[in-house]
Amino acid sequence: MKKYLKKLKFYEFSEKHKKTLCTNLNTEKTLMRSKSKVQKQSIKKIYYVIAFCNILVNLDHGIIPAATKEIKTDLQIAEVELGLLGSIVYGGLLLGSLVAGQIFQKFNSKSIITTTISAYILSLLMFPISKDILLLGLSRFLVGFFQVK
């Protein structure tokens, strides 16, 4: 604490003022430590959410090509529709890439990422639930679109 007092040249103050200054500096350090701890916890939570999303995406991208025969027979769709279902993700990626830069310039990045991750999870969960080919295609497109984040 004395080095702070030397830098600030507070030797002409009384001992009471010096103690007050030291108390304020200690309080400030404690607040900074607690703020740092909260930031580390937030980063940890964000990491786990992003890791969960990536696991879902890798399952999605791995299961679709591996289960094309089953998808085709269950949904009774043609080869062209099956091909579109597999490749429409890249259309979403393309459109999302074109729009992402403009969106990040206009809005707060924290709210964009929060919204995007939520929509991303919903679009991933929409695929196994739906039985309609249009909803499946929309789900795959949105997965690609929100994958840009």
The DSSP symbol for 13 reads: S
Closest to 144 (Cα-Cα) out of 51, 60, 47: 60
* Amino acid symbol at 45: K
**CA atoms of 53 and 124, how far apart (whole Å):** 9
**CA atoms of 88 and 69, how far apart (whole Å):** 18
How many Cα atoms occupy the beta-carbon half-sphere of 20 within 13 Å?
6
Give the pLDDT mean for 132-142.
Answer: 90
At residue 26, the pLDDT reads 58
Domain boundaries, the chain: 45-146
The reported pTM is 0.65
Band of residue 94 on the pLDDT scale cut at 50, 70, 90: very high
Contact 142, 123 (CB under 8 A): yes
By mean pLDDT, which of 48-52, 58-62, 94-98 is the weakest? 58-62
pLDDT of residue 98 exceeding 90:
yes
Per-residue pLDDT tens over the stretch 25-58: 555 555 566 666 667 777 888 788 878 877 877 7
**CA atoms of 50 and 42, how far apart (whole Å):** 12
Give the pLDDT mean for 102-108.
Answer: 90
Any residues with CB less than 8 A from the CB of 142 and at least 6 apart, and which?
A: 92, 119, 120, 123, 126
Contact 116, 146 (CB under 8 A): yes
Contact 97, 148 (CB under 8 A): yes
DSSP letters spanning 88-114: HHHHHHHHHHHHHHHHHHHS-HHHHHH
Band of residue 120 on the pLDDT scale cut at 50, 70, 90: confident
At residue 56, the pLDDT reads 76
Closest to 7 (Cα-Cα) out of 26, 27, 28, 21: 21
